[in-house]
Amino acid sequence: MALIKCLECEKEISDAARACPNCGYESRKTEDIEPIVQKTELGELEKNIGAGIAMFVVGFVFIPISIVIMPFGLVLLIPAILLMVYGGAKISGTRSAVCPYCKNESVLNSKTSTNFKCSNCKKLSIVKDSFLEIVE
């Protein structure tokens, strides 16, 4: 048994109490808080190999060019690396994913090993075949 704060009068009450003895406010409102789901389903695998290869190749070509024209090449190098990363993701395929903790929608690279880190709440979930599962 622990003490919690009454949401209404902010006095400390037992978490076992159904209602606040001070103001009568019912503290058992946990159902109102959206529960963390154990699993969220992953979306269909989406691949775009043609676009992925094109992006990858463009990025690959830009890297030596950006190195030659350094330090100006720096503005080319970063987009080039990003192109290769996104191109690679399109080749291996991506799936839409919903964070089981905060329901934030994001995209999962299907090659991503076994963990998925939410960009919103920074929590890790485990990647199963077609699910994201919370770490307990």
Q: Which residues bind Zn ion (CB under 5 A)?
A: 6, 8-9, 20, 22-23, 25, 99, 101-102, 104, 118, 120-121
Q: How many whole angstroms separate alpha carbon 64 and alpha carbon 61?
A: 6
Q: Residue 80 or 99: which CB sits closer to Zn ion?
A: 99
Q: Minimum Å distance from CB 12 to Zn ion?
A: 10
Q: Minimum Å distance from CB 48 to Zn ion?
A: 26
Q: Minimum Å distance from CB 117 to Zn ion?
A: 9
Helix (H, G, I), strand (E, B) or coil at 58: helix
Do 27 and 4 meet the contact criterion of CB atoms below 8 Å apart?
Answer: yes
CA-angle at 125, arms to 124 and 128, nearest 5°: 150
Do 6 and 25 meet the contact criterion of CB atoms below 8 Å apart?
Answer: yes
The DSSP 8-state label assigned to residue 8 in this structure reads T
Q: Residue 19 or 74: which CB sits closer to Zn ion?
A: 19
- Find residue 105's DSSP bridge partners: 98
Q: Residue 14 or 78: which CB sits closer to Zn ion?
A: 14
Q: Residue 56 or 101: which CB sits closer to Zn ion?
A: 101
Q: How many whole angstroms separate alpha carbon 103 and alpha carbon 98?
A: 5
Q: Minimum Å distance from CB 104 to Zn ion?
A: 5
